[in-house]
Structure 1
Amino acid sequence: MKVLVTGAAGFIGFHLSRKLIAQGHEVIGLDALTNYYDPALKQTRLDILLEQPAFRFGKIDLTQMDALEDFVGAAGAEIVYHLGAQPGVRYSIENPASYIQSNIVGTANLLEALRRHQPQHLVFASTSSIYGGNKTMPYAEGDRADSPLSLYAATKKSGEALVHSYAHLWSIPSTCVRFFTVYGPYGRPDMALLKFATAIAKGEPIDVYGNGRMRRDFTYVDDLVGVLAAIMTRVPVTGEPLEGDSLSAVAPFRLLNIGGGHPVELMDFIASLERAMGTKAELNMLPMQPGDVVATEADTDLLKALVGDLQTTPLDEGIDRFVAWFRDYSRGN
C-alpha cells in the first residue's frame, strides 16, 4: 500500500517508516526538520530511510497550507499516519506558541488536505498525557480525559477533537492512538533515557523529578510500531463496535491506547540503565515538574481485541538495545 507518514524523520516516524518498508509498503515521508533538538539526529534517521527505494521524502511544514495541500495530493496515499508534532511536556511551558502552531494549526491543515484527498484510514498520534488529572488506573479509552495538566496534552486533546469532527463531517475513518512513554534507539535528546545515558557517559548527575517516585508504562519502540502497522487495516466502521469499544456513535472514529500495561518505577528504570552501562549514576533528586503526572498505566484490552496478543519487550532487553545503539551513535558524533 501507499502510506504517508508525517514526522517521518522523528523518533517514532523513523521506526514506523522502516517497519512499513520492510513489510513491502511504499512510504512517503513528510517532515519540517525543525531545530527543536539537534537536526543532525533527524538527518541521520532520514539518511537511513533514503537508502530505501520504497521511500520518498518531502521537507514540508504542516503550517504551510498550500505546500502541504500539493504534497498530500501528489502523494495519493491510501493510509496516513499523522505523527508530525511539537513533542514534550516541559518545553510546552517555555514555548507554547510552537505547540499551538504545530499540533493544532498543523493538524487542522492536514485534515483539510485529507478532506479533499481522502485516505482509507487516518491514524493520529496522541498521548497518554491526555489523561492528565485522571486518578483511575489503568487508563482506559472510555475514561474522561478533560483535565490535561500540560499545554502539550491540551493540544493533543484538541487534535483528537478535530480528527473526530472531520471523521464525522467527511467520513474519514480515523484512529487516535495514545502512546505511553515510548523509548528505544534513535530516541529524542529531550527524552529521559537519552538524557540519562548522555549524563552518565559524561560523569554528570542526572535530574530525577518527583524524587524518583514516578511510575511510567514504558513501551519499547519496536512493540509500538508493530501495533501501528497492524492497525492499518483495522479501520473503524460506524455501527460495528467491539466489546468495550471506544468507537464513536456518530463517526468512523476510535480511540486506542498503545502501551505495555506494566508500569515501572523510575528508580527501577534508572537501575536498568546503570546495569546496561556498567556505571552508577549520580542522582540529583528534584520535585515534580509542572505538567507532569505521577503515574501512567495503559488498559490494553481494546488493543488486544483489535490485534491479538501484544509483543512486549522486557525492560532490560529494550534498554540493552538502546545502550548498544547509544554507544555506536556516540562514537560517530
Structure 2
Amino acid sequence: MKILVTGAAGFIGYHVSKKLIGNGHEVVGLDNINDYYDINLKLARLKELGIERDAAEHFNTLTSSHLESVRFQFIRLALEDRSALPQLFEGQKFDAVCNLAAQAGVRYSLENPEAYIDSNVVGFLNILECCRNYNIKHLVYASSSSVYGLNEKIPFETSDSVDHPVSLYAATKKSNELMAHTYSHLYGFHTTGLRFFTVYGPWGRPDMAMFLFTKAILNGKPIKVFNHGKMERDFTYIDDITEGVVRILEKKPSTISERPLYKIYNIGNNNSVKLLDFIDAIENSLDIKAERQLLPMQPGDVEKTWANVTDLMKDYDYHPDTPVRKGIDAFIKWYREYYN
C-alpha cells in the first residue's frame, strides 16, 4: 500500500514508518518539525529513514530517501495548512492514512493552549476533509489514554464514559474521536482511533518520564516524583505499539466481523506498573541510585492508567509481550549511544 504517516519525525511516527517500510509498503511521511522539543532528535530520526537534514528542513518540498530500497518520502508540512495538504493528497493517491501528528504533552497544554487547537483540532479537521475528498478508505489516528480523565474504574475500557477530561490535550483528543465518528457516519469511510497508553523506548520523547528520569540520574540530578510516587501507569514498549498500529493498517476493516465504520481501541501493555517500581528498574539498569524529589500531583495528571486491550487482541491478534525491564534496558542502551 501507499500510506501517509503524519508526525513521521515523532517518536511513534518514526517507528511506524520504519516498520511499514520494512513490510514492503510505500510511505510518505509528514511533519512540521516544530520546536516543542529538540528538533535535532526529530531530524536524527528522519536521517535513520534516509532523509538528510538539509532536505528535511525545507517547507512543502517532497523529498525521497537516499537509502537504497527504502520506499520513503518526506514532506515538511503543518496539518493546519489548508491549501498545501489537499495538494499532497491529490498528487499521491494514498491507500490509507495514519495520523500521528499532534501537539503532544498534557502539561504544555496549560501554557500554550492555542497550539493544541491549531494542530489537534483544526489540523485533524483538515485530515478528515482530505480523507473525504480523496477517497481514503481507512484513517487510523492517535487518540490518548488521557481521555479517561477522572475515570476511577480500572482497567479502562473503551465503553467507559470519557466526558470528564482534566487537560486541554485530553479534550482535543476526545474531540478527534467525535469528529471521526461524524465523518465515518456522514461519508462512509472507516476510521480507527487508538488510545495510546504511556509509550516508551528508544528514540522516545524528551518530555516523558523515561527520558527525564534517565537524563537526571546520569547527570547526578534529583528526579521529580509526583504525587509522592503514588502513581501507576500502563507502560507500553514502542515495539508493541508499532506492531499493533501496523497490523491495523494492513488488515482491511471490512474483513473484521461486525466491525463498524467507526471504531476505538485501547492500545497498551494490558498491565499497570507502579511508578516507584518503574524507577527501581531504571536505577537497576543504570546501576545508579536516584535522588528522589517527592512532589504533589501536577494539574492535569491522573493517578492510575491501565488499558483493557481485549478488543485489539480479538480483532488483530495483538499481544504486547515486552517486559518492562527489557524495554528499559533497550531505551538506556539507545540513550547512551545517542548522547555518547
Could you state the TM-score of these two structures normalised by the residue count of structure 2?
Answer: 0.92
Q: Which runs of 5+ in 1 are unaligned?
A: none
Displacement after TM superposition at 1:289 (Å): 0.4
* 1:254-292: CA deviation from partner (whole Å, max 9, x where unpaired): 000001111000000001111111111111110110111
1:105 pairs, out of 110, 122, 127, with: 122
Matched residue count: 323
1:173/1:235 contact within 8 Å kept: no
2:265 pairs, out of 231, 256, 263, with: 256
* 1:56-100: CA deviation from partner (whole Å, max 9, x where unpaired): 000001111101111122221101100000001110011111001
Q: Which amino acid aligns with 1:213?
A: K
Which residue number in structure 2 is paired with residue 34 of structure 1? Answer: 34
Give me the whole-angstrom Cα distance separating, in 2, the residues matched to 1:28 and 1:158.
26
Which residue number in structure 2 is paired with residue 8 of structure 1? Answer: 8
1:279 pairs, out of 272, 288, 297, with: 288
1:318 pairs, out of 322, 327, 334, with: 327
Task: Please state if 1:138 is matched with 2:172.
Answer: no
For structure 1, which segment, 206-215 or 225-234, has the greater mean C-alpha deviation from structure 2 after superposition? 225-234
Q: Which amino acid aligns with 2:274?
A: E
2:222/2:292 contact within 8 Å kept: yes
1:54 pairs, out of 51, 71, 76, with: 71
Task: Please state if 1:157 is matched with 2:174.
Answer: yes
Which residue number in structure 2 is paired with residue 173 of structure 1? Answer: 190
Give me the whole-angstrom Cα distance separating, in 2, the residues matched to 1:65 and 1:106.
8
Which residue number in structure 1 is paired with residue 103 of structure 2? Answer: 86
Task: Please state if 1:148 is matched with 2:135.
Answer: no
Displacement after TM superposition at 1:110 (Å): 1.1
What secondary structure sits across from 1:289 in the alignment? coil
What secondary structure sits across from 2:83 in the alignment? helix
Which residue number in structure 2 is paired with residue 301 of structure 1? Answer: 310
2:16/2:242 contact within 8 Å kept: yes
Give me the whole-angstrom Cα distance separating, in 2, the residues matched to 1:160 and 1:238.
22
1:204 pairs, out of 210, 214, 221, with: 221
Give me the whole-angstrom Cα distance separating, in 2, the residues matched to 1:201 and 1:176.
37
Q: Which amino acid aligns with 1:314?
A: P
Displacement after TM superposition at 1:311 (Å): 3.2
Which residue number in structure 2 is paired with residue 71 of structure 1? Answer: 88
Could you state the TM-score of these two structures normalised by the residue count of structure 1?
Answer: 0.94
Which residue number in structure 1 is paired with residue 25 of structure 2? Answer: 25
Gap change, CA 1:239 and 1:193, over 3 Å in 2: closer
Q: Please, what is the CA RMSD of the aligned residues?
A: 1.4
Give me the whole-angstrom Cα distance separating, in 2, the residues matched to 1:225 and 1:137.
24
What secondary structure sits across from 1:65 in the alignment? coil
Task: Please state if 1:269 is matched with 2:278.
Answer: yes
What secondary structure sits across from 1:311 in the alignment? coil
Identity between Structure 1 and Structure 2 (%): 47
Give me the whole-angstrom Cα distance separating, in 1, the residues matched to 2:290 and 2:337.
20
* 1:160-181: CA deviation from partner (whole Å, max 9, x where unpaired): 1111111111112110010000
* 1:15-54: CA deviation from partner (whole Å, max 9, x where unpaired): 0000001111111000000001010000000111125430
1:174/1:236 contact within 8 Å kept: no
Give me the whole-angstrom Cα distance separating, in 1, the residues matched to 2:286 and 2:306.
27
1:128 pairs, out of 145, 148, 152, with: 145
Which residue number in structure 1 is paired with residue 210 of structure 2? Answer: 193
Give me the whole-angstrom Cα distance separating, in 2, the residues matched to 1:319 and 1:239.
35
1:234/1:306 contact within 8 Å kept: no
